[in-house]
Each structure stands twice: as C-alpha cells, then as structure tokens.
Amino acid sequence: MARVHLPSGLTRHTGGVETVDVDAARVPDLIAALRDLFPQIADRLEEMAVAIDGEIYADPGYQPLRADSEVHLVPRIAGG
C-alpha cells in the first residue's frame, strides 16, 4: 500500500488525517481513492503536484506506484 502524506492545509478537511495508506497501482487510482475517502478535497487534488519516492511530478499522469511508495501531495511551483 502506498503511504500518502497530505499537505497540512488540507488536513482540516480530512478530520485531521495527515497520512493514509492507499492500495493503488498508478497515480489516477490513488487520486480516485483519495477522492472517495475525502470528497471535500476532491477539487484541490487536481491542483497538486505529486512526489513519488522523492521525485516530484508537476503533472503525474499515469505514473506507476510501488507497493511501498511514499507519496506526497505538494503545491505546484512556477519557475522563471
């Protein structure tokens, strides 16, 4: 199960839950699972970059996840 770390700004909408284990093979499955778990943050999930085992994808697309992947949702960054 991938361990997902939610940004602190969203935890007020998740009843204080900061991490959650999700059984997902790819990022879209993970996002769908989070949407089911926390419908209040569904809109915000679309706006986040996803860090998978330390690698940050501004658009994670269909990136695969390992069974023990560590996933962080982080705000997207604009560079100059």
Partner 1 sequence: MTAPRDFKYVGTRPIRHDGVDKVTGRASYGADAAWPGMLHGFVLRSPHAHARIVSIDTGAAEAVPGVHAVITGKDLPETTATIALGEAAIDLRDIGDNVLAKTKTLYHGHAVAAVAATTIDIAREAAAAIEVVYDVLEPVTGIDRALGAGAPILHPALVTKGAAGPDAGGPTNIASRMELKRGDVDAGFAEADLVVEREFRTPMVHQGYIEPHACIARCGEDGRAVVWCTTQGPFVVRDACAAIVGLDPANVKVVPSEIGGGFGGKIVVYLEPLALALARKARRPVKIVMGRDDVFRATGPTSGSKVRVKLGAKRDGTIVAASASLWYEAGAYAGSPVGAGAMCMLAAYKVPNFFIEAYDVVVNKPKVAAYRAPGSPIAAFAVESVVDEIARELKIDPIELRLMNANAEGDRAPYGPKYGPIGLAQILEAARAHPHWRAPLGANQGRGFAVGFWFNAGMNSSATVTLNSDGSAAVVTGNPDIGGTRAAQAMMAAEELGIPVERVRSNVGDTDGSGFTDVTGGSRVCYATGMAVIRAAEDAREQLRARAATIWNVSKDAVGWENGRAIPPAGTEKASPMTVAELTAKMTQTGGPIVGRASLYAPMAGPAFGAHICDLEVDPETGRSRIVRYTAFQDVGKAVHPSYVEGQMQGGVAQGIGWALNEEYIYSADGVMENAGFLDYRMPVASDLPMIETVIVEVANPLHPYGVRGVGEVPIVPPLAAVANAMRDATGIRFTELPLSPPRVLEAIEAAAAVPVEA
> Which chain residues interact with partner 1 by CB under 8 A?
5, 7-9, 12-13, 44, 47, 49, 51, 53-59, 61, 70, 72-80
DSSP string, 3-61: EEEPPGGGGGGTTT--EEEE--SBHHHHHHHHHHH-GGGHHHHTTEEEEETTEEESS-T
Q: In whole angstroms, how close is the CB of 37 to partner 1 at the nearest point? A: 19
Q: In whole angstroms, how close is the CB of 65 to partner 1 at the nearest point? A: 14
Q: In whole angstroms, how close is the CB of 70 to partner 1 at the nearest point? A: 7
